Amino acid sequence: MLFNTYAFLLGFLPLALAGYTLLGRFGQRAAITFLFIASCGFYSVWDIAYLPLLLGSITVNYLLGKQIALAHERNRSIQGKRWLIAGVLFNIGLLGFYKYADFIGSNTATLLGLSYTPLGIALPIGISFFTFTQLAFLVDCHAGSGKDYQPASYGLFVTYFPHLIAGPILHHKDMMPQFVDPASHRASRGRLVVGGIFLVIGLFKKIVIADGVASYVAPVFDLHAGDLTTLEAWCGALAYTFQLYFDFSAYCDMAYGLSYLFGIILPINFNSPYKATSIIDFWRRWHITLSTFLRDYLYIPLGGNRRGPLRRHANLMLTMLLGGLWHGANWTFVIWGGLHGLYLVINHAIQPLSQRLPPVFRRVAGWTVTLLAVVVAWVFFRAAHVDTALRILGAMAGGGQTSASELSRLMDINTCLWWLAGCAAISLLLPNLYQLLGRGRLLALEARCSGALGGLLAGVLLTLGLILLAISETRGASEFLYFNF
């Protein structure tokens, strides 16, 4: 069930919100249990065959978490560590089987000169996100920060539908207190308006901008990768750069807005990353919860920067390589992660020298180099094969055809350039929603919209949302790109 469909916004969402609010009057546990069941129903719409897998993963991790926490309370650190290792092996094994079995098998067979028949294992949607969410939970339990072990609360923590399919990656300590907060179970007109603002703007980003610029991506990457002019190659690479930006930004806005309707605040996961003036800054802005997870649960446990620059660089490379592989079982993702690891190593190495440059020059040069590096890496991220990415990059570097290719029949380059200019202006010049409506302003707006003004704004937002949905349904609602990861 896609966020950008009538079935979700006019069917599932009102029923889920009404049930959660009404049952909240009879007790928090009833409301939490209802929303957990509703979230399982939301997941089942994608493929009910994988619901037992999701519920099995939740059950095993819940029981492991209790054992780890119990060992921590009794100061049995060795026993707790053994349970934690068992949990890590279980989750990585599950993810490895469903996501990487064919990748590992085919590459191993190639190295050994053997033939390999793919297992054809379908990837359960959201498995990367609910696996990382639960890994973080187990580590938190081992650290002693796991406090609430009500089964329904834990189940909702994992399956909560605004985040389940494409993030953000949640942390137990951030979500559990909100689930039991009485304020989240009370309906509010102001809350509906604020959540609606995020929803409508997210719909606009997805349906109008991301899906609009997407038409210039597939012809370059999927049809004519080996038959491009330099301009065509750059148009395709930049079109994907902005498609992914607005698609993921849209999902983050919609997830935040949906959760806000329920009185539950999700962590900010996207903060104008193309304004970054360094790769370090980029990763503080792009998929923030993933980069935080990789830092806290992989980079720091590996030693972080505590053992000298060489060890820090090795830790950065390993972290980003695994971060790339997390996105998909393909060498293109490994190369993408490796490039960002290399970028971070170089960024850390030259940071002391760059501080000596004039501030304005440092910012302009840093932004230019960062965006160029990000675009190059996105080519690998989007390409189906490494050789496809290399051909596109070769054309971008000036090795493309000198005359227009057959692509000109499928893609109006002049129109594409206008799209790119518009996307660049929005992403680089305009503030994002979180800058415009910081937490304090959100609360003020929510209070201001509790009366008649809120009703008027809610009507306007509903009208705009219906118009956008009509456009989406006419063209055929498209999935968010991060559903594939």
Residues taking part in catalysis: 327
Q: Where are the beta strands (DSSP E) in 246-350?
A: none
Integer Cα distance of 25 and 173 in angstroms: 25
Q: Tell me how many helices (H) and strands (E) the chain has.
A: 24, 0
Count CA atoms closer than 13 A to 315's CA, side-chain side.
20
The first and second tokens of residue 204, run together, are 């606009």
Residue 409's CB: how many other CB atoms inside 10 A?
10
For residue 85, CA distances in Å to 79, 92, 135, 283 come to: 10, 10, 10, 29
Sign of CA dihedral 132, 136, 142, 147: negative
Amino acid at 293: F
Sign of CA dihedral 386, 217, 474, 458: positive
Residue with tokens 């054809």: 120
Residue 317's CB: how many other CB atoms inside 10 A?
17
Closest C-alpha among 420, 434, 124, 418 to residue 249: 434
Integer Cα distance of 315 and 424 in angstroms: 33
Integer Cα distance of 191 and 265 in angstroms: 11
By the 10 Å C-beta count (0-12 exposed, 13-18 middle, 19+ buried), 89 is classed as exposed
Query: What residues are paired with 229 via a beta bridge?
Result: 401
DSSP string, 131-151: HHHHHHHHHHHHHT------H
Count CA atoms closer than 13 A to 196's CA, side-chain side.
24
Give me the helix-helix angle, 386-394 and 230-261, nearest 10°. Answer: 120
Q: Going by C-beta distance under 8 Å and a sequence separation of 6 or more, which residues neighbour residue 174?
A: 267
Query: What residues are paired with 401 via a beta bridge?
Result: 229
- DSSP assigned state of 401: B
Please, where are the H alpha helices in 100-229? 101-112, 127-143, 151-159, 161-164, 172-179, 189-204, 211-213, 218
Integer Cα distance of 38 and 189 in angstroms: 22
Residue with tokens 């068992």: 86
Integer Cα distance of 13 and 203 in angstroms: 15
